[in-house]
Amino acid sequence: MKKTTLFMVILAINAFTLTGQNDNGQGNTTQEDYFRGFEDSSKDNWNYSTNIPFYILNPGDSDLWSNYSEPNGRIDGPFMGSSYLAGRDLDNPYSEAYTGEESPEHILDFDPIDLGGSSAEFTFRLKYVSLEKRDYIYYEINYDNGTDWSSADEHVDVFLTSQGGPHDSLGWEEVRFDVPSGHQYVRVRLVIYQNGNGYLGFDNFELKMPTLSTSNNKIEGFNFGPNPTNGMLILRANVILDKATIYDVLGKEVIRQDGDSNQMKLNLKHLANGVYLARIESQGIRQTIRVVKK
């Protein structure tokens, strides 16, 4: 048997094996996905801690840092589902007394995830209304499984300005960070400082890793070709295709392309000949296919 044929057989066996391991009956969430939507459901499998326990000091008025299901000022409710993490007037007598600090930060610290060297995508949703120039929001990432945050491998400012306010987001904005391959672990924390009559909402924190699977939930009417291909790969479906991401067999992302119609064209001409995995996303459904470039 030729080496190429043998490799294809091994890849196919591994793909079906991983499919069985990842099927946990929770829809699209698998062992390669970690999620926190503040619904307290089985899908919420990414554990976290907070430096200041959740509190609702004046319901319907102010001083809020909690898993919440009601409107928060001009934030009507969660991005998705029935609840979200809400905040208002975070620099208040309670948070100052609890931390012993004059201007305390509120910190959400997520558990480390074992990546095994794979790439990953970290995303969450954020909405804010009436933030001022003293307010700030950032997240940090470290590529280890420790607890020390005296330094960070990645620091990303989500809201930071020297301009006077108030400042509003454009609805529920998506925040995204691509975690490169080659790291055993990753951990994330979100840091917020906010004082005064501003409103905050956070939802759908997710860490997604490519899964070596050729059997996921199916996108309606999905098909693709030609396969094998010597350059162009065309994706079609009966629904809107939102995004396509292509990985090599080591899990490294090599192509990412957004879509807004029921057809996408992917240019693979610059890729080396070989086997790739493509993850297609549409309306919350992800489907993974095996593609051969020759």
For 71-121, the DSSP string reads: -BTTB-S-SSSS-EEEEE--SSHHHHHHHT-SS--EEEEEPPEE-TT--EE
| Least confident range of 2-11, 199-208, 240-249, 275-284 | 2-11
Q: Is the pTM of this model over 0.85?
A: no
Cα separation, 165 vs 177, in Å, equals: 27
What is the number of other CB atoms lying within 10 angstroms of the CB of residue 32? 20
Cα separation, 202 vs 172, in Å, equals: 9
What's the confidence (pLDDT) of residue 25? 35
Reported as a single tens digit per residue, the pLDDT across 190-219 is 999 999 889 999 999 999 876 554 444 688
Q: Select from 2.40.50.140, 2.60.40.180, 2.60.120.260, 3.10.450.50 the CATH code of 33-208.
A: 2.60.120.260
Sign of CA dihedral 52, 54, 57, 60: positive
Supply φ then ψ for residue 7, to 5 degrees.
Answer: -60, -40
What's the confidence (pLDDT) of residue 183? 86
Residue 207 and residue 33 in contact, taking contact as beta carbons nearer than 8 Å: yes
Sign of CA dihedral 241, 252, 137, 65: positive
Residue 89 and residue 183 in contact, taking contact as beta carbons nearer than 8 Å: no
What's the confidence (pLDDT) of residue 217? 64
What's the confidence (pLDDT) of residue 11? 44
Helix (H) or strand (E) run with residue 15 in it = helix 3-22
Residue 121 and residue 103 in contact, taking contact as beta carbons nearer than 8 Å: no
Residue 14: DSSP 8-state: H
pLDDT score of 27 more than 60? no
Question: How many residues comprise the chain?
Answer: 294
Reported as a single tens digit per residue, the pLDDT across 64-95 is 999 999 999 899 999 999 999 999 999 999 99
The burial class, CB within 10 Å (0-12 / 13-18 / 19+), for 135 is buried
What's the confidence (pLDDT) of residue 30? 42
Extents of the domains making up the chain: 3-28+211-293, 33-208
Q: What is the pLDDT averaged over residues 142-148?
A: 95
Reported as a single tens digit per residue, the pLDDT across 118-139 is 788 999 999 999 999 999 999 9
Spatial neighbors of 11 by CB under 8 A, at least 6 apart, are 249, 275, 290
State the number of CA atoms in the 13 A half-sphere of 184 facing the CB.
Answer: 3
Assess whether the region 3-28+211-293 and the region 33-208 belong to the same CATH fold: no
What's the confidence (pLDDT) of residue 61? 58
- Topology (CATH level 3) of domain 3-28+211-293: Immunoglobulin-like (2.60.40)
Reported as a single tens digit per residue, the pLDDT across 32-72 is 689 999 988 888 999 999 999 999 987 655 789 999 999 99
The residue among 37, 73, 75 whose CA lies nearest residue 58 is 73
What's the confidence (pLDDT) of residue 116? 77
Chain mean pLDDT for the chain: 85
What's the confidence (pLDDT) of residue 85? 97
Q: What pLDDT band is residue 289 in, cutting at 50, 70 and 90?
A: confident
